[in-house]
Copies of this chain bind each other. A is one copy, B any other.
Amino acid sequence: MKLTILGCYAATPRSLTNPTSQVLEIKNHLFLIDCGEGTQVELRRNKIKFSKIAHIFISHLHGDHFYGLIGLISTFNLLNREKELHVYGPKGIKQAIVFQLKISNSWTGYPLYFHELDSKEPQVLYEDKKVSVETIPLKHRIYVNGFLFKEKPGERKLNITAAQKNNIDVAYYQKIKNGSDIKLEDGTLIPNEKLTFDPPPPKSYAYCSDTVYKPDNAPQIMGATAMYHESTFLDAQKDLTKPTGHSTARQAGKMAREAQVDNLILGHYSTRYPDLTLFANEAKKEFDNVLLADDGVSFEF
């Protein structure tokens, strides 16, 4: 599982910092999460293949998470994309994009599907054999969802030594990895757990931005491999979190502790602060494994 941060700064794009966008590589998918202005250029800079993106998840319709979407959709078209594209985001996203395509007298040559969201309960947006994506209800000044990306448990790992000791033919190995018990020729039944090891635990990634501190989400996120949680402010500006609908780094740390995640990734920094380590220092008062997102940085889990 690999997360690449294309942009992780709050509010407006600037010469050296980008608004929110990130790419999650998980089980052979490339999921694009949020799409601030300039995202298509950052995708190029990070050498991410446009054609591999088939699903785009938009948390909310503030510009710093959304204004790059129309440009990316248009560029896909100019590049003669044929593969379908699915866009998940709040109600209104379809009209915003379609109207802009209409006034430019253009349409996409590839199938473009919008999945508009308005539920305040978690819902599954995408699912296949290996991975699922569900919404995490967040709270901000406007309707917003986080996203929880979960691997499904993989196949069991074959205990070769045990299989050979029991003279099991290789033809049965895939069956065993799928979880079957094996009946030997003499009628003995060997239970699957004697022939296999547990697979590596499935990984998961929780994306939470933009939001106030919302501890009632902890059970849904519980035990995630990594959680990206916005930390727009430091404690000194905690009074700003309520009117703006944002969190402090320390609140992100608390959330990580309560949801017992393995790693906390901080981001969505207000550009008023001179140094990102300030965010890490405050979050570490609540939680140990703190990582700092920054534009162009990747994390592998």
Task: Point out residues on A near B: beta carbons under 8 Å.
Answer: 11-15, 37-38, 40-41, 44-45, 61-63, 66-68, 70-71, 74-75, 78-79, 90, 92-93, 95-96, 99-100, 103-106, 141-142
Contact = CB atoms under 8 A, between A and B. Distances in A.
Given A67-B70, A105-B142, A40 B12 contact: yes
A104 B61 contact: yes
23 contacts: A11-B78, A12-B74, A12-B79, A13-B38, A13-B40, A13-B71, A14-B41, A15-B44, A37-B37, A37-B38, A37-B68, A37-B71, A38-B41, A62-B104, A66-B104, A67-B67, A67-B70, A67-B71, A67-B74, A93-B103, A96-B99, A96-B103, A105-B142
Contacts of A100: 61, 63, 67, 96
B104 A95 contact: no
B44 A14 contact: yes
B103 A45 contact: no
A255 B62 CA distance: 44
Contacts of A105: 141-142
Contact of A104 (B40, B41, B63, B68): B63
A212 to B, nearest CB: 16
Contacts of A15: 41, 44-45
Nearest to A106: B62
Contacts of A95: 99, 103
Nearest to A37: B71
A161 to B, nearest CB: 52
